[in-house]
Chains A and B, each alone.
Chain A
């Protein structure tokens, strides 16, 4: 596992109680350069897109649920109804500076294909997902003997849209396999605060409730 070498510290760590924006959204927004063009895949009701707009970023969105899309469009956002699994193929190569997949990877049918598409469409990708290796998850399975449910993931196993859970460790392995370079990696604790960067990876995988990764294409031959 080479994650520690690949991880770069994030400048300007974000306080968890900044305004009304979600911690992971603020973190993602910090990773995006001003003036860039961004596609938010699975943009929900457009909270992140609105945050990006306040920072002069040209944001577009795709959202699966009709209600979510219509709320976004009613906020004046450029959002289309679509499915990460089937509709990313319609976007040309290098169409965006960043493609963001926020808390959606685990709900896709083919996370690997989706990830590959993100880095085809965008020069960089920002992916955040709930860490199934989080200690609360482990305890529920180990001690409780049932599928874990948390405040952020309250659905029962039979009605959850999340069909491909992974741990931070699993995700890092996938990135290695498909030749993706991790430019930054941050784990957020259960309060949405970033964990200290000098902690060992197993600690992140245990105490990070979610992982946020800034990815780019590794140079060919590497």
Chain B
């Protein structure tokens, strides 16, 4: 008989996740009925809250603030242990004392995006009107909505102009949206492994992930929390598929090849014979422990809708006309999710606007995820860009 295996069921952290969504282990900015978040879909979201972390000190001029925007499945815990998993912050290689985003020099802010599940209002939060979890009643949000919410947080912190907006992947998209929509509030922009629009291939991968979630009977049309369950299989499959897009053929081959997992011979079953299978299953199951399935649907959708040029008559250069912000655009050679060509199109548009832009493509076989990994050349470039911008900003 064939041994059927699937993603192992993780311990269900439903209550812990629900608690974190409403009462995060983070700083919290709450916005009442007088300050609704005006969403692109036409709905005013109110009340709502933003969970955020800060590192370093804001200087007297309030001129050294850097906003870090997190990626699709990231969160505000950039450089501290994650409250649910206990793992190190997702960008500790980049943010900290003496790191490129030096917390001895800069005041670093990172907020959970609207639609997320780590304390900023999203589908996993409680809808104050009903006292129940929002689920699919939560309005569809966009990247510009996320950024609009961040501007309200930055206002609340009393910061007029950010020294830099930094982000990779969906975080890079937010950085570009910030700069296109609020150019006077952004002194410099570091946009990494991203694009000004989501490509057809990327939308296709997102659709695959969403369909996997929705095909899981435990999803219950988005009301799984009322059943005390979570569509961990569907979300796990979505994560596995997405994770492949974050790596590269070369990286997978180097890391795993065709090596077997704790065995020398195939088991003639669907067990995880290969190391790469075991690795993917682990990625799937560890992800579902910390992430909400509906939130995944909303955030992937927000990325799909993103297209800066579309808001400017289809001409990207118009989005950045007359811009004074200093740009640094970074791509990675083996990134096939946001290939260098996407960054180059952005750079051409910035050139057409005579913007001050640096653009480096970094050679690595580690794929899209390279921006989260230890890539010294990337750190050197980020550090130098911020130092040069810091001089222009009068930071010493």
The dominant DSSP class at the A interface is mixed
- Report B340-359 CB contacts with A as 1/0, cut-off 8 Å: 00001001100110101111
Contact check, B384 vs A75: say whether CB atoms are below 8 A apart: yes
Knowing A74-B384, A91-B352, A92-B352 are in contact, say whether A79-B363 is a contact too (CB < 8 A). no
* Residue B136 lies at the interface, judged by CB distance under 8 Å to chain A: no
Provide the bound-state CA to CA distance between A87 and B359, in Å. 13
* Residue A31 lies at the interface, judged by CB distance under 8 Å to chain B: no
Min CB–CB distance A139 → chain B (angstroms): 42
Knowing A66-B361, A69-B360 are in contact, say whether A91-B351 is a contact too (CB < 8 A). yes
Contact check, B388 vs A76: say whether CB atoms are below 8 A apart: yes
Set of chain A residues within 8 Å of B16, measured between Cβ atoms: none
Contact check, B352 vs A80: say whether CB atoms are below 8 A apart: no
Provide the bound-state CA to CA distance between A70 and B326, in Å. 17
> Is the interface on chain B under 10, 10 to 19, 20 to 34, or 35 or more residues?
20 to 34
Min CB–CB distance A92 → chain B (angstroms): 6
Instruction: Give residues of chain A (14-28) contacting chain B, Cβ–Cβ below 8 Å.
Output: none
Chain A interface, number of residues (Cβ within 8 angstroms) = 23
Set of chain B residues within 8 Å of A73, measured between Cβ atoms: 328, 358-360, 381, 384-385
Contact check, B359 vs A81: say whether CB atoms are below 8 A apart: yes
- Report A68-94 CB contacts with B as 1/0, cut-off 8 Å: 011011111111111000010011100
* Residue B57 lies at the interface, judged by CB distance under 8 Å to chain A: no
Contact check, B361 vs A81: say whether CB atoms are below 8 A apart: yes
Provide the bound-state CA to CA distance between A84 and B20, in Å. 53
Instruction: Give residues of chain B (368-396) contacting chain A, Cβ–Cβ below 8 Å.
Output: 377, 380-381, 384-385, 387-389, 391
Provide the bound-state CA to CA distance between A72 and B357, in Å. 12
* Residue B362 lies at the interface, judged by CB distance under 8 Å to chain A: yes
User: 17 A-B residue contacts at CB 8 Å?
Assistant: A58-B356, A60-B357, A66-B363, A70-B377, A73-B360, A73-B384, A76-B384, A76-B388, A77-B358, A78-B357, A78-B358, A79-B358, A79-B359, A80-B357, A87-B348, A90-B348, A90-B351
Q: Could you list which residues of chain B lie within 8 angstroms of chain A, going by C-beta atoms? A: 326, 328-329, 344, 347-348, 351-352, 354, 356-363, 377, 380-381, 384-385, 387-389, 391
Q: Which 9 A-B pairs have the closest CB atoms?
A: A76-B388, A80-B359, A90-B348, A73-B358, A76-B384, A73-B360, A74-B380, A74-B384, A95-B354
Q: Given A77-B388, A81-B359, 18 more contacts at CB 8 Å?
A: A37-B354, A66-B360, A66-B361, A66-B363, A69-B360, A74-B377, A78-B326, A78-B357, A80-B347, A80-B351, A80-B357, A80-B359, A81-B361, A82-B347, A87-B351, A91-B351, A91-B354, A95-B354
